[in-house]
Amino acid sequence: MTRNPGFASFGIVAALSLLLPAGLSAQQPAAEEGRGRFAAIDLFVDSGKTPLAAYQVEFMATNGVVQIAGIEGGEAAAFKEPPAYDPKAMQRDRVVLAGFSTSKDAALPSGIVRIATVHIRVSGDRAPGFELRLHAAADSTGRRIAAKATYAERERP
């Protein structure tokens, strides 16, 4: 008896499809998902002349067309690792980030420092809106310092 290899392959695919949860399917091409794009938002803290050892900021989208997709660390060696954050909160459009370094003042950055980058997915044609709040900034002794937080969307290539 000869076997039809096409029938056997069909049987395996059919059996596997029964094992997959309902609603699970292959990823659809971007054109079928609707309009959207990915962007990177750089977050900065300006500590002036004081070396920055710690910070806590809150980043949020203000108009509901943004989903946070990922977070990476900053530019300075002291904040190279991704900051601490709540992954469940990140799944929405708001996240609180915190970073600190135990380095000596000579190894800490000062002035305008990129502390993190937030990667987002923007849905639809509407321009996203953002808000960034600085909750705390401190020097190497743990004293609160005057600082300012800003953000900027990276230029697309």
Q: Can you give the residue ranges of every domain in the chain?
A: 34-153
Q: Given this model, what pLDDT does residue 9 score?
A: 38
Q: Given this model, what pLDDT does residue 36 score?
A: 78
Query: Which strands sit side by side in the sheet containing 94-100, from one edge to the other?
Result: 94-100, 54-61, 130-138
Sign of the four-CA dihedral 110, 41, 57, 128: positive
Token pair 């809106």 is at which residue? 129
- pLDDT of residue 17 exceeding 70, the answer is no
Percent residues over pLDDT 70 in the chain: 77
Q: How many CA atoms lie within 13 A of 115 on its CB side?
A: 33
Q: What is the dihedral of CA 61, 62, 66, 69, to 10 degrees?
A: 10
Q: CA 61, CA 123: separation in Å to the nearest integer? A: 12
pTM for the predicted model, two decimal places: 0.76
Among the listed residues 95, 69, 94, 70, the one whose alpha carbon sits nearest the alpha carbon of residue 82: 70
- pLDDT of residue 91 exceeding 80, the answer is no
Q: Given this model, what pLDDT does residue 4 score?
A: 46
pLDDT band of residue 65 (cuts 50, 70, 90) is confident
- CATH fold of 34-153, please? Immunoglobulin-like (2.60.40)
Q: Helix and strand tally (H, E) in the chain?
A: 3, 7
Question: What is the per-residue pLDDT across 117-145, written as a single tens digit (0 to 9) for each?
Answer: 999 999 888 888 999 999 999 999 999 99
Q: Given this model, what pLDDT does residue 26 score?
A: 35
